[in-house]
Amino acid sequence: MQPSPMQTWQEKARIKVAETNSKIPEKWRLGKDDLVAAKKQRQLAGPFIESFLDGETLEITSHNSVPLLSKITSGHYTALQVTIAFCKRVAIANQINNCLHEIIFDQAIERAKELDEYFKKHASTLGPLHGLPISLKDQFHINGVDTTMGYTSLPQTLLLGETVNNLIGRSLNPVNQLLSCGGSSGGEGALNALRGSSLGTGIGSSVRLPAAYCGIYSIKPTHNRFSYRDAANTNPGQNTYASSVGFLSSSVDALHLRQSLADSTLSRASTDGYSNSNLQLKLGVFWTDGIVGPHPPITRGLQLVVDTLRGVGHKVVNWNPPSQATARRIHLAFLTADGGHDVHKQLNLSGEPLIPKNFQLREPMPLLQYQDLTLEGRDYCAAYSDYWNATADDEDGQIVDAVIMPVAPHAGVMPGKFYHVVYTEAINLLDYSAAVIPVTKADKNVDTFNSEYEPLNEVDRKNWEAYYPEVYHGAPVGVQLVSRKYEEEKVWVIAKIVSAALKAAGVH
């Protein structure tokens, strides 16, 4: 139904939600009691969602992407079987977790049938992702489907550390409903944690937050390693520090499926040497940025990674780069340089109210100041690069391969308590490549509140006081592994090495 210009934004939103929900077939609808039961669950992922699924659906959706693809390619599953199984799981996921903004089951099933026809006729698959169900953040333009960009769903403007908007409200973390699912690809994170998608595609620094919060894997490439064409964005004319198209999945291997689709004319950092099983990595570890110290579960997560890597012979050195405070100041200035004009132009289309506080309407920044800021950003990147290069001057003569960092100072975030996004933001300014891997879960018995901690400043105090061991109990702890520009392949290989070491050590 076409919204009429006379409708209020609330009416339009109601119509949109009703339309989306109507696309869930009757047979996959949950009863009122089930919905009430879902609200009371702490964890939706795993047994709870699975209690609604039949055997075949469970069996198909339990596979990670790479084995799933082989089963399709070998003819063990048809594309249609796989697609129906994922649609069903997604339908349940959305009813209990509020993570979808568009439902395109019909087109997916149509396409699956075509692929099965093709497979029958040619005895081969069509393209590298034949029959693999993927989800897309509601920022990619798709024929015949709205792109809301958070003006009616997603975190409004995308530039928020939580998934909250005026259409479907808030998406909570399916692993721990006391927490937000985090960041502008939060729905993607939730969906992947609920195994409703084999591979999620998101944009922004925010592919890292939901991965860390939901206990899955993700990769954030350098800008334009994957094309931004046919994707919407907030303030697209500010492209000095632009965001990136990235991927989320429940398996580290699946991330590479998309890597292989990157524009072949673009760069591919050499990973020669990284397949050597005697390889001794040299990694930096960034315990804290000295502005906001991470909560106990995060610090323990970093320590687990460091101990595990050292245990198998890799080197880990402390990381003290140029201050992230500088990166924060410059990046925020760019995001808000237009004085919120782009955001308000979008809001005015429907009249819906603004959510992110940074975007109050004001005078745009004067151009000369904007261009001077570009130079400050350039100098920060150069200083950071110098610091990185200088690790080659250590006695071992070896340059750091990647840096282990917090994704945020907390494992998930309580609604309204995200005070410091700088751990991801600094990497955005640098335009480096980063992968997120899960490490452990917060444990109230181990990660106790240290009441003697002396906060570094007011923001640090607020963040520290937002750590409630009871609330965080069970929340996934991820870390980011950071390499430099265009080193997506390299950082992915390192993520695989580190994940394998964590598995071998029984940590994750």
Catalytic center residues:
137, 184, 206
CA separation for the pair 237, 239 (Å, rounded): 6
As measured in angstroms, the least distance from the Cβ of 496 to its own copies is: 19
Q: Is the dihedral of CA 131, 136, 140, 144 positive or negative?
A: positive
Does 459 bind its own copies (CB under 8 A)? Our answer is: no
As measured in angstroms, the least distance from the Cβ of 429 to its own copies is: 14
C-beta separation of 139 from 154 below 8 A: yes
Task: Indicate which single residue of 375, 399, 500, 504 sits in contact with its own copies (rule: CB under 8 A).
Answer: 375
CA angle 274, 276, 278 (to 5 degrees): 115
Nearer to its own copies, 161 or 377 (CB): 377
Task: Indicate which single residue of 18, 126, 261, 382 sits in contact with its own copies (rule: CB under 8 A).
Answer: 382
C-beta separation of 202 from 181 below 8 A: no
The residue type found at 79 is A
Task: Indicate which single residue of 267, 280, 448, 450 sits in contact with its own copies (rule: CB under 8 A).
Answer: 267
User: Helix (H, G, I), strand (E, B), or coil: what is residue 430?
Assistant: helix
Strand 245-249 and strand 217-220: the pairing is antiparallel
Instruction: Collect all residues with Cβ–Cβ distance below 8 Å to 492 and sequence separation of at least 6.
Output: 219, 252, 255, 256, 259, 435
Instruction: Collect all residues with Cβ–Cβ distance below 8 Å to 229 and sequence separation of at least 6.
Output: none
As measured in angstroms, the least distance from the Cβ of 127 to its own copies is: 17
CA angle 464, 467, 472 (to 5 degrees): 155
C-beta separation of 300 from 440 below 8 A: yes
Residue by residue, DSSP assigns 376-423 as HHHHHHHHHHHHHHGGGGSTT-PPP-EEEEESSSSSSB-TT-----HH
Count of residues interacting with its own copies (CB under 8 A): 35
C-beta separation of 204 from 248 below 8 A: no
Does 264 bind its own copies (CB under 8 A)? Our answer is: yes
Mark residues 32-71: x for contact with its own copies by CB under 8 A, - for none: ----------------------------------------
Closest-CA residue to 165 (of 187, 133, 143, 146): 187
Nearer to its own copies, 59 or 376 (CB): 376
Nearer to its own copies, 238 or 299 (CB): 238
As measured in angstroms, the least distance from the Cβ of 374 to its own copies is: 4
Nearer to its own copies, 39 or 378 (CB): 378
Does 461 bind its own copies (CB under 8 A)? Our answer is: no
Nearer to its own copies, 236 or 311 (CB): 236
Contacting its own copies within 328-367 (CB under 8 A): 337-338, 341-342, 364-367
Contacting its own copies within 185-244 (CB under 8 A): 229, 235-240
CA separation for the pair 275, 475 (Å, rounded): 33
Nearer to its own copies, 239 or 450 (CB): 239
As measured in angstroms, the least distance from the Cβ of 486 to its own copies is: 6
Q: Helix axis angle, 296-311 relative to 488-504, nearest 10°?
A: 90
Does 372 bind its own copies (CB under 8 A)? Our answer is: yes
Cβ count near 81 (within 10 Å)? 18
Task: Indicate which single residue of 8, 10, 51, 374 sits in contact with its own copies (rule: CB under 8 A).
Answer: 374
Nearer to its own copies, 338 or 352 (CB): 338
Closest-CA residue to 502 (of 300, 316, 311, 318): 311
Segment contacting its own copies (CB under 8 A): 92-100, 264-272, 287-295, 321-329? 264-272
Does 268 bind its own copies (CB under 8 A)? Our answer is: yes
- For residue 317, the 8-state DSSP code is E
Provide the β-strand partners of residue 404: 285, 481
Does 368 bind its own copies (CB under 8 A)? Our answer is: yes
Mark residues 269-308: x for contact with its own copies by CB under 8 A, - for none: xx--------------------------------------
Closest-CA residue to 234 (of 164, 162, 171, 151): 151
Does 392 bind its own copies (CB under 8 A)? Our answer is: no
Nearer to its own copies, 122 or 229 (CB): 229
Nearer to its own copies, 295 or 331 (CB): 331
C-beta separation of 488 from 259 below 8 A: yes
As measured in angstroms, the least distance from the Cβ of 371 to its own copies is: 3
As measured in angstroms, the least distance from the Cβ of 161 to its own copies is: 24
State the residue for tokens 């009441």: 451
As measured in angstroms, the least distance from the Cβ of 490 to its own copies is: 8
As measured in angstroms, the least distance from the Cβ of 227 to its own copies is: 10
Mark residues 473-492: x for contact with its own copies by CB under 8 A, - for none: -----------xxxx-----
Q: Which residues bind its own copies (CB under 8 A)?
A: 229, 235-240, 264-270, 337-338, 341-342, 364-368, 370-375, 378, 382, 484-487
